[in-house]
Amino acid sequence: MRCRRVTSLLLAVAAGLAGCSVGGDTRPAPCGGLHISSWSQDHGVTDEFARYGDDASHPGAWTGGDGTHSVRLPDGRTLWLADDPVLDPVYPPPNPLGQPYPWRDTTGGRTPVWAHNAVLVMSAAGRLERTLPGGTPAAPAAYFPDPSAVPQVWRWPVQGVVEPRSPGAAEQVVRILLWDRVAGPPPWLYGVPLATEVATLSLPGLRLESIVQVSDQSAVPSPGRRVLYGAGAVHADGWTYVFGGDDGPGRSPALATSQAYLARVPQGRLADPSAWRYWNGTGWQASASRAVPVLGGGEGGGNGGGNGNGRRGVGSSLSVVRQDGTWVLFTMDAGGPAASGLSAVATYWACAPQGPWHGPAAGFRPPLPQDTSPQSAAVVYNPQIHAEFTRRDGLLLSYDVNWLGTSSAQVGAEVNRNAALYRPRFVRLRLGPVAASSGPSASSAGQAPAAAFATFATSPVRH
């Protein structure tokens, strides 16, 4: 199965974690450095995804995948957006190797059914109930269909928001940002970036109404500098702020760094390409070609936009939350000699979404699922904050799990003998002040070693 690189999510938390003013008070909230001060596993949400994935009573439903973005609907339901989902049944343990794991049938070289995307619906009570149909139960397919104009092009959903159908309208719709990619040779094994689109879904029926392209990057000569938007999206002061990212120079995903970009759109116009404005280092302008990074640039350098953002840059997926007046960015620790690649989450902080960003600060190493393989190559990637699930015990963060391998056949064999190796897991985080001596090492789980990973060949894992 193909796994992809994702650049992820920007969300604001209501009330104490708000990204906009509360109660008419427009005074700016105080800003100071924050990082992860403590974390613990959230077994409840992790187990709910495992329960749904193991339930054989839903033919053609999600049984594993990555991406793991979420958007809360006005009626309390939550949409979960999945990339490269497996839509094949899972069988109870033991697996054919005698191991105590739920598994999928790969006998005789069979390849389990999968698609490029899926949408899951969770009830207001927190129970996953269904996978929105793309195709039929007998022949499941992607919910957002692959574009037909060009062969081997697919869509990956990233962030979603609820907004008015048009500015000031009472009717609300769901907007889902999509990334278009096309198959390519190494190192573009997760696809060459092409464009950003916005899909509109009706409420409350969740009917797919339209898909509109908002940013075409196909003419940018260097694929590594093509920017896809939708890593994050947050409403603030009448705007939707949308983060994007490039693919970087195409080095090993364990070591490479990417750069983050920022756009904003008036609320209610996310699907209107003419309404998008891009940060150019000093202000907002209409041309995506003039956008500059707000974060990234590698070890010891700035970001090319005059902000001096970050000592190492970011991994290829990131997530941002605002607590009081401080923005905190979560990403896999990437780039530089101390980077831990596909094992540790690092953080940066800023007083505004366009920066300047400071960090990386100490992070943590997410735990892997149980597995008895003597030489496990399981990795974690794609940290995502789900602000709508914030509780008194902290923020909810998901991360994806996959297997590093030298071929798609090897990866498929591993994640199908143990279904937990290709499913999201969840933790609860608390944020605390950054100490003056805070550095890039991982906290709570000890020092994260420098990354060294196998060649990805035909099965890369994004980070």
Does 460 reside within a domain? no
Does 43 reside within a domain? yes
Does 462 reside within a domain? no
Identify the three-state secondary structure at position 389. helix
Nearest to 162 by CA among 204, 107, 114: 204
pLDDT of residue 82: 97
Does 117 reside within a domain? yes
Q: Determine the length of the chain.
A: 463
What residue has token string 């364990």?
Answer: 254
pLDDT of residue 410: 86
| Cis amide leading into 186 (omega within 30) | no
Nearest to 6 by CA among 225, 316, 284: 316
Buried b (16+ CB within 10 A) or exposed e, 415-445: bbbbbbbbbbbbbbbebeebeeebebbbbee
- Looking at residue 163, the DSSP 8-state letter turns out to be E
CATH code at position 135: 2.115.10
pLDDT of residue 27: 52
Does 254 reside within a domain? yes
- Cβ burial, residue 352 (10 Å; 0-12/13-18/19+): middle
Q: What is the pLDDT along the chain (463 residues), one digit of tens a residue?
A: 444 433 333 333 333 333 333 333 445 678 999 999 999 999 999 999 999 999 989 889 999 999 999 999 999 999 999 999 999 999 999 999 999 999 999 998 899 999 999 999 999 999 999 999 898 888 899 999 998 777 799 999 999 999 999 999 999 999 999 999 999 888 787 889 999 999 999 999 999 999 999 999 999 999 989 999 998 888 888 999 898 888 876 544 544 678 889 999 999 999 999 999 999 999 999 999 999 999 986 433 333 333 444 456 777 788 888 888 888 888 888 765 555 667 889 898 999 889 898 988 878 999 999 887 766 788 899 999 999 999 988 999 999 999 988 778 888 999 999 999 999 999 999 999 987 544 444 443 333 222 222 222 223 344 4
Domains contained in the chain, number:
1
| Global confidence as pTM | 0.86
Written as six digits, the tokens of 216 are 């075409």
Give the domain extent around 101: 10-443
Does 459 reside within a domain? no
Does 2 reside within a domain? no
pLDDT of residue 94: 96
434-438 own/partner pairs: CB under 8 Å, 24+ apart: 434/32, 434/33, 434/34, 434/35, 434/349, 434/358, 434/361, 438/33, 438/35, 438/361, 438/362
Does 450 reside within a domain? no
For 324: left if phi > 0, alpha if psi spans -120 to 50, otherwise beta; the answer is: left
